[in-house]
Amino acid sequence: MTDTLFLTSDEVDGLATPAEYVDVVREGYRQRGEGAPALPRQTFRNENPDGKLTNYSTILPETGAMGGYVYTSGFSGPNAWFVTPLFDAESGEPIALIDGASMNPFKTGATGAVAVDALSRDDASTLAVIGSGAQARGQLHATMTVRDFESVRVFSPTPNNRKTFAAEFDDHLDVSVEAVDSSEAAVTDADVVITATKAADPVFDGDNLDPGTHVTAMGQYTPGRRELDTTTIERATYVPDLRDRVTQDAGSFLAALEEGVVDEDHVHAELGEVVAGTAPGRTSDDEITVFDSGGTGIETVAAGYMLYERALEEELGTELSIAPASKALTGRLPSE
């Protein structure tokens, strides 16, 4: 038997700051860039009721942890259910089981922020956010820790949502946060653009991007659905979280591929390769860069292990006893 720590969403909420999430996720992607294994998501669909079971995993040898994410979504309801199992990378023993609800926007936002730090201009000062949900909030919290932005413009199709989002962050941040009436108004003259939506079709016109803009897109990872148009992909130095994911479910890239404006060689490098310095990032101030984020076990394990260590320090969580397989088959017959 081994003791495994179960952590609820409430217990991990507030255990780390956005900047701390960014630091550990950056370190996780550095390890990936130097060879740490990670697989793209696998998704299984249930037809009746309609829903999905998704998982992805990684090993971060220097962190000393491995594991990933398992979650369900759909099933005739608005909710998704996130579970993170963590294992010790040396012994293989399970060390934690985390309810991933509250950490999800922060670890995903941290990934976007790592990309902004690696690919945007150092002097980036204007940020555009398209989307106003939990993921957009996580992206903004994290991204504000890697650049000294002076202004933020937010657009989402529902006026009340974008106004509420802008008012909330205008009070919280030491910069001006303004709701605007169109994606064009958000994107024009922006140094960094973040898309965090559920849109099936492109959310802005790529011709409106100024030279030197960085785009982080994280809302779509389904063939046939995309946040970015073909123009944006064609104009940009394209960096995904995992190269193997691009032709699997990166909807924006797949659309550009199908239209024949790019080929698979248009993939510049994985984010981890840029972070590790094994591939160049931005090479000029006029270059447009895109980070396509679909979610990986890298940020999940990196963030989850940090939260596990914090929980041990704070004496949080409930211990669960898990039996090894050697104890499962004892030769005893089931009791009658």
pLDDT in tens, 221-273: 888 889 999 999 999 999 999 999 999 999 999 999 999 999 999 999 999 99
Please enumerate in sequence order all residues whose Cβ is within 8 A of that of 18, keeping only pairs 6 or more positions apart, or say none: 106, 109, 110, 113, 141, 142, 144, 145
Q: Is the pLDDT of residue 15 over 80?
A: yes
Would the pLDDT of 164 be above 70?
yes
pLDDT of residue 332: 62
Name the residue type at position 328: A
Q: How confident is the model at residue 335 (pLDDT cuts 50, 70, 90)?
A: low
Task: Indicate the residue type of 120.
Answer: S
Q: What CA–CA distance (Å, rounded) separates 148 from 78? A: 36
Domains, the chain, in order of start with CATH, read: 2-104+297-327 (3.30.1780.10), 105-292 (3.40.50.720)
- Kindly give the pairing relationship between strand 80-88 and strand 65-74: antiparallel
The overall average pLDDT reported for the chain is 95
112 falls in which pLDDT band (50, 70, 90)? very high
pLDDT at 146 over 70: yes
135 confidence band (pLDDT: 50, 70, 90): very high
Question: What is the Cα–Cα distance from 99 to 41, expressed in whole angstroms?
Answer: 19
CA distance 281 to 335: 63
What ranges make up the beta strands (E) of 61-101?
65-74, 80-88, 94-99
Lowest mean per-residue pLDDT among 68-82, 179-193, 230-244, 262-276: 68-82
Neighbouring-strand partners of residue 85: 97
Query: β-strands 94-99, 176-179: how paired?
Result: unpaired
CB 90 within 8 A of CB 98: no
State the pLDDT at residue 224: 87
Backbone angles phi, psi at 298, to 5 degrees: -60, -55
pLDDT recorded at residue 190 = 98
Q: pTM here?
A: 0.94
Angle at the Cα of 140 (from 99 to 18), degrees rounded to 5?
50
pLDDT above 70: residue 55: yes
| CA nearest neighbour of 64 among 304, 308, 305 | 305
Give me the sign of the Cα torsion angle 269, 246, 185, 132: negative
* CA proximity to 116, closest of 275, 280, 302, 278: 275
The answer to which of 39-48, 179-188, 253-262 has the lowest mean pLDDT is: 39-48
Contact 193, 213 (CB under 8 A): yes
What local confidence, expressed as pLDDT, does residue 221 receive?
Answer: 82
Residues 6+ apart with CB under 8 A from 88: 64, 65, 66, 94, 95
Mean pLDDT, residues 46-65 taken together: 95
CA 290/CA 57 separation, integer angstroms? 24
pLDDT tops 70 at residue 31: yes
Rounded Cα gap, residues 10 and 121, in angstroms = 36
91: which residues sit within 8 A by CB, 6+ positions away?
none
pLDDT tens digit sequence for 195-227? 999 899 999 999 999 999 999 999 878 888 899
- Residue 329, pLDDT > 80, answer no
H runs (alpha helix) in 198-261: 230-235, 246-249, 251-258
Joined together, the tokens standing for residue 269 give 């490098």
Per-residue confidence (pLDDT) for residue 331, from 0 to 100? 56
Q: What is the pLDDT of residue 327?
A: 75
Give helix then strand counts, H and E, for the chain: 11, 14
